[in-house]
Structure 1
Amino acid sequence: MDAARDAAPDLVAVGKVGPPRGVRGDVFVEPWTDAPGERFVAGAWLRTEPESAGPLRVATATTSSGKLVVHFDGCDDRAAAQAIRGVQLFVPAAERPALDDPDEFYDTDLIGLVARTPDGREIGTIRDVQHAGGASYLAVEVAGAQRLVPFVSAIVPAVDIAGATVVVDAPEGLFEL
């Protein structure tokens, strides 16, 4: 996924094609979006990685035992479904809905930002955003090692997407082993 994001930073991943379901070309899709019902609607076009697999147009989308099942136009048998297994699905970042809260961010908008101390000293670059146990963490690359920074306002008081920076007011010892 990182290679695809680096090659086309205006795209965001929304899912991955899984195994075929049945013999008519349906596939299970692992959604990577909070709104699969909006992303995987009939007529929706999805870009792909590898690019040679698409773009793919959603013909139908349903659920089976709580799993997303999608039928793409032109994918009409099990062999065609098997051929797209593992393909990652993307949409243009501009198609994401606007966030109402100015203190909310899309993870993909944070990746690549430079973390700085309150006095402006560079700490490192955000490489990932991780969510665990109801909390979010910025994975910051510091001197070749990854450090997790709790993404809370007491530690990350400012995020400037346009300026490509976040301020990290780290408590003592956060970046030490």
Structure 2
Amino acid sequence: MLVVIGRIGRAHGIRGELNVQIRTDEPERRFAPGSPIICGDRTLTVEASRHHSGRLLVAFREVPDRTAAEQLHGAVLEADIDPSQSPDDPDELYDHQLVGLHVRAADETVVGMVTRVMHGPGQDALVIDAGAHEVLVPFVAALVPVVDVDAGYLQLNDVPGLLDPGAAEQVDP
């Protein structure tokens, strides 16, 4: 099972180091030396990783110089994990644990199902099949206060327009 752990940013220096936008709560585990990382149709091996000016810099064995590093800009990095594995932090979840969960409104009625997780630059969003349409819901505690993987559901707060943007309250300028 593949889980997204990062996105490659700009090249750093001339030796092939890359800035990585972290998409995992376990960067020390996922970017440890020797770790295999899936990058598109190839596997990269972490040579070294370090924090520099608030960013994670990663060197891969297969990326010898800046020219090779620049070709990877924007690529998504994934780790192959055992589907039964969970993150070390009990408050964190992998995408595959969220996909398939029933989505309940604040009044407990089932309004849809999570079909995938989108990883954006600022935050993640749940893609919810709400029957007649698809809805994107930012995956933040203010909007999704309850996630019960064992029971197979998550619950949304009652926010006007969250599931139906056309029903959002109109604000006068």
TM-score normalised by structure 2 residue count: 0.68
Instruction: Measure how far apart 1:39 and its partner are.
Output: 1.3
CA positional deviation for 1:114: 2.9
Deviation at 1:56, TM superposition (A): 0.4
Question: Is 1:97 matched with 2:87?
Answer: yes
Q: 2:71 aligns with which of 61, 68, 83?
A: 83
Instruction: Select which of 14, 17, 20 maps to 2:5.
Output: 14
Mapped partners of 1:80, 1:55: distance in 2: 14
SS at structure 2 position matched to 1:151: coil
Q: Which consecutive residues of structure 2, in runs of 5 or more, have no partner in the other structure?
A: 168-173
User: What is the CA–CA distance in structure 2 between the aligned matches of 1:172 and 1:89, rounded to whole Å?
Assistant: 33
| 2:129 corresponds to 1:141 | yes
More displaced 10-residue stretch of structure 1: 108-117 or 36-45? 108-117
SS in 2 for 1:68: strand
TM-aligned CA deviation for residue 74 of structure 1: 2.7
CA drift of 1:172 comes to 10
Q: 1:68 to 1:167 in 2, by over 3 A?
A: closer
Q: Which has the larger helix fraction?
A: 1
Partner of 2:171: none
Q: Structure 2 vs 1, CA of residues 41 and 107 (structure 1 numbering), >3 Å: closer, same or farther?
A: closer
Q: Distance in 2 between matches of 1:122 and 1:29?
A: 38
SS at match of 1:55: strand
Q: Does 1:67 align with 2:47?
A: no
Moved >6 Å (runs of 4+): none
CA distance 1:71–1:111, change in 2 (3 Å): same
Once the two structures are TM-superposed, the CA of residue 122 in structure 1 deviates from its matched residue by 4.9
> TM-score if structure 1 supplies the norm length?
0.66
Cα deviation, residue 76, structure 1:
1.3
1:28-66 superposed Cα distances (whole Å, 9 cap, x missing partner):
111111121221111111112x21xx2000111112211
CA contact (8 A) 1:137 1:150 kept: no
